[in-house]
Amino acid sequence: MTIYRFPSNFLWGAATASYQIEGAWNQDGKGESIWDRFSHTPGKVTHGDTGDVACDHYHRYPEDIALMRQLGLKAYRFSIAWPRVIPNGVAPLNPAGLDFYDSLVDRLLAANIQPFATLYHWDLPQALEDKGGWQNRDTAHYFADYTAVMVKRLGDRVKHWATFNEPGVAAFAGNLWGEHAPGIKDIKMALQAAHNILVAHGLSVQTIRSLDSQLQAGIVLNLWPHEAATGSPAEIAAAEKSWQEGGDVLFLDTLFLGHYPVAGWQASGANHPQVAPGDMALISQKLDFMGINYYSRVLVDASGERVRAEGAEYTEMNWEVHAPALYRLLTRISREYRLPPLYITENGAAFQDTLSADGKIHDPRRESYLREHFIQAHQAIQNGVDLRGYFVWSLLDNFEWGHGFTKRFGLIRVDYETQKRTLKDSAEWYAGVIRENAVE
Ligand code: FCB
């Protein structure tokens, strides 16, 4: 049996996001976020679920860190809820909110777990949305001010800072498809939101650097390679066209080449965003790392239409399970862009778990999903990709945005009635991978 051993300092972790797990949506001075507003609006989220309580992590984080320790996690990726620390987005600060993250970080370090902070995982203060949200360029400056608050408070202990999680989803799911907060459906607004988020990223990176040049500043992109269903030349061309015009290349090109992709800019016609002088240099400044969230790929036919993979396994999200595309993605982007060190900042799968009579959750499909993807990541490292770590999505079952609590991604099951946590079989297996630093 082959043993795939990882580099000795490879960072194994798990990831979460504030709105998906914290709960305590209006406690201890926290302000309203656009996700509070969105989930409280009837018809937006399956079953009317909200993150009001979620996994109650705000109160149970010591227990959750004890579980992380039990798994042997070397790193933990979490996000900070901007309106918890600055309720209206600008001022004043909320001391209780700052204390929460302070204590979270202290406890992680005491458990020997490296904290990786994300500044924005989609929960914009509603007060800023009321002033135009990401349409308003001022939001980018408020984001830089918020960055400074957090770095001053935690930068002595948190070394890795991601500005944004999946700017593409924030911009397009939130402003074009209307499936996420704030629920807008307008292409011009979506493209302007994407641009202003990129400006906010640039200002935030400058802020981090100006406060402490030793800190590691980065961003997290979700990347879905576009591939040909059967591999005919016409399909390969269609897949390439759809990749070049899509949202992933928009962020890769702006961040790492310093310009908008030619095909995408042309395709957007009169809807393209307003770009101020100096923006592109600001957006494309050097980063210390990039996080990649990889779940699946987009499969297209010769006319560029999305198709299903015949005979393939699909997860509860209706996402194809296809690990080899992770290898192809990592090697391709490493060839085509001058990238900083990489982390897989999210990878995992939602399956319909059942609690067995023995009190356990036997989830072999999640385990094999992770195993296959770990092996592809290993192959990429063997072929020269500078991949430094891997965060499984997610530590806990949690609030899956528009799907509410219906999709379970956790290594750890959460009973939402009782808040009881139970390690799934995949979690026990993952603990073994971390211990051995290898996959069999
Ligand atoms: C990603 C998000 C994360 C989670 C997973 C399933 O797009 O970053 O919050 O919802 O998908």
Candidates 305, 285, 176; CA nearest to 242 is: 305
Q: What residues does 200 pair with on adjacent strands?
A: none
- Which atom in ligand 1 lies closest to the alpha carbon of residue 317? 6
The C-alpha atoms of residue 79 and residue 33 are separated, in whole angstroms, by 14
Distance 352 CA to ligand 1 centre (A): 17
Please give the pLDDT value at position 264.
86
Please give the pLDDT value at position 152.
98
Q: Tell me the CATH number for domain 4-439.
A: 3.20.20.80
User: Residue with the nearest Cα to atom 10 of ligand 1?
Assistant: 400
- Residues 310-324, mean pLDDT to the nearest whole number: 98
Identify the residues whose C-beta falls under 6 Å from ligand 1.
17, 20, 165-166, 169, 222, 293, 346, 393, 400-401, 409
**Residue type at 227?**
E
- pLDDT tens string 48-100: 999 999 999 999 999 999 999 999 999 999 999 999 999 999 999 999 999 99
User: Is 90 exceeded by the pLDDT of residue 368?
Assistant: yes
Ligand 1, from 35, 118, 119, 293: best to mutate by most atoms within 8 Å of Cβ?
293
Mean of per-residue pLDDT scores for the chain: 98
User: Residue with the nearest Cα to atom 4 of ligand 1?
Assistant: 400
User: Is 90 exceeded by the pLDDT of residue 401?
Assistant: yes
Q: Catalytic residue at 346?
A: yes
- Which atom in ligand 1 lies closest to the alpha carbon of residue 169? 7
293 three-state secondary structure? strand
The C-alpha atoms of residue 143 and residue 201 are separated, in whole angstroms, by 8
- Residues 174-182, mean pLDDT to the nearest whole number: 97
The C-alpha atoms of residue 163 and residue 313 are separated, in whole angstroms, by 34
pTM attached to this predicted model: 0.98
Q: Catalytic residue at 166?
A: yes
Q: Are 418 and 372 in contact (CB under 8 A)?
A: no
Confidence band, pLDDT 50/70/90 cuts, at residue 171: very high
- Residues 255-279, mean pLDDT to the nearest whole number: 94
- Which atom in ligand 1 lies closest to the alpha carbon of residue 220? 8
Q: Are 375 and 323 in contact (CB under 8 A)?
A: yes
User: Is 90 exceeded by the pLDDT of residue 1?
Assistant: no
Confidence band, pLDDT 50/70/90 cuts, at residue 289: very high
Q: What proportion of the chain, given as a percentage, has pLDDT over 70?
A: 100
User: Is 90 exceeded by the pLDDT of residue 103?
Assistant: yes
Q: Which of 32, 166, 227, 235 is catalytic?
A: 166
Please give the pLDDT value at position 381.
98
Confidence band, pLDDT 50/70/90 cuts, at residue 267: confident
How many Cβ atoms sit within 10 Å of the Cβ of residue 170? 23
